[in-house]
Structure 1
Amino acid sequence: MKEHLRRWAFKTLLIIGPLAHGQTPIWIDPGHGGSDPGTVSLAGVPEKELVLDIALWMAESAKNGLDIGYPILLTRYRDTLISLTDRGLLPKMVWAKAIVSIHMNHSPNPLAKGIEVHIHRRGGPSERLAQKLVADLVVKLGMESRGIRTGDFQILREAPKDIPVLLVELGFLSHPEESRFLSTPLARKALAMILMEGLRDFFDNHNSMERKTYR
């Protein structure tokens, strides 16, 4: 393992505290960071800041009573650049129950809008979790769905194959209405809560089905 990654992983675990024995975390990956701003809102706010805020709200809600049954870890807790290779490697080091990479979209067409979720292949837990999160965001926030798509993003391709791994695009920073919405702290907190509630409900249902299977 690269020495810099070993040091970074150690610092990350110091930030979130030691995991209880036997607990498998859900990794939330706020995209971009550091010298990679991602796309930029119409007000000039970089994607890297907006998605980090959502991820931090998710981690905070887990500490303050929204129990989804698994610890929530972030691939970054501040404005740091983590390579795509390292993003894919860290969950393998500490194991993972699921991986959700959070991004925001951009298009040269200012009318393009809505959420979309990318998975590596159809079928299995990734598609089921994607369906759950898309449905929740549409119903609870009235967002438009652009559907679930297959993609060959590195974090999808290199992550463990038997767990849900998603890349979620939470709207277009190039769309006037969505850019204003995503730029508000209240909207980002709402997105974080809906994602967390979706994860909780998905794993509650998944674990209930597993218990019935093994009876």
Structure 2
Amino acid sequence: MKVTFKNRLQNVIFLLVILKTCLCFSQIIAPKKIIVIDPGHGGMDPGALGVLNVREKDVVLNLAKEVLQLNKTVLDSRFEIHLTRHNDTLIALKDRSQFSKRLKADVFLSLHCNAALNFAYGMEAFVWEKSSVNGNYPMKLASSLLKEVNINLGFKNRVVKYSNFQVLRDTAPFCTSVLLEIGFITHDEEAAYFLRSKNTKAMALAILMGLLKS
């Protein structure tokens, strides 16, 4: 498998232009959404351990912070974004959902990295296996996120799946809830991808585009 990340990442400026265009159209339609970005794991729980000493907890925290920053600098705070953690601390799963409920979040987006013993690669998303408060919108949002990352960054789209993960189970009854596995850090190229800050920015831009277009 040959991933064409090198060529795809020349499109960061292009992503910024498209993102601005999406913003112009989205401002006409809807009020500001409250979005909780949940970087998985943290503290004593590193999450998945990948090649090149890449740790899941670090990758997802860096990405969450970039989404937060770009929402302010590129989208003029189009969304009201909150993070469940801002540093290397471990937050209980129930506290992540309760935090979202207190904020009356419209969207709960949990960020994780995948790991496998084989050469699996790509990005996948999960929604709660039962009905949610917003009907089919979680599936629509998850599909939009995967589509933007696939088209703009070249990550394989491993499609949306149903799951009974606790953070989905606890948040889906009151808001749109998606868990995103942003790549396999056990895969050489995908692990190396997240070691560069410009790649994290590109991923954050694609996620913001997915949020705007959903």
Would you say the 8 A contact 1:116–1:168 is kept in 2?
A: yes
Q: In the alignment, what sits opposite 1:112?
A: 120
User: Which residue among 43, 51, 68 is the counterpart of 1:59?
Assistant: 68
When structure 1 is superposed on structure 2, of 120-129 and 26-35 the one drifting more is 120-129
Q: In the alignment, what sits opposite 1:25?
A: 34
**5+ residue gaps, structure 1:** 1-21, 203-215
Give the drift of 1:32. 0.5
CA distance in 2, matches of 1:186, 1:135: 20
Give the drift of 1:169. 0.4
Give the drift of 1:24. 5.1
Give the drift of 1:181. 1.1
**5+ residue gaps, structure 2:** 1-30
AA at the equivalent of 1:139 = I
Q: In the alignment, what sits opposite 2:147?
A: 135
Aligned residue pair count:
180
Would you say the 8 A contact 2:54–2:185 is kept in 1?
A: no
Q: Can you list the C-alpha shifts for 1:172-192, whole angstroms capped at 9, x where unaligned? A: 011111111122211111111
The 3-state SS of whatever aligns with 2:37 is: strand
Q: Which one has more relative contact order, counting CA pairs under 8 Å at least 6 apart?
A: 2
- Change in CA separation of 1:182 and 1:93 when aligned onto 2, cut-off 3 Å: same
| Percent identity between the two aligned chains | 35
Say which one has the larger Rg: 1
CA distance in 2, matches of 1:159, 1:106: 24
Give the drift of 1:23. 6.1
The 3-state SS of whatever aligns with 1:43 is: helix
Q: TM (normalized to structure 1)?
A: 0.79
AA at the equivalent of 2:179 = L
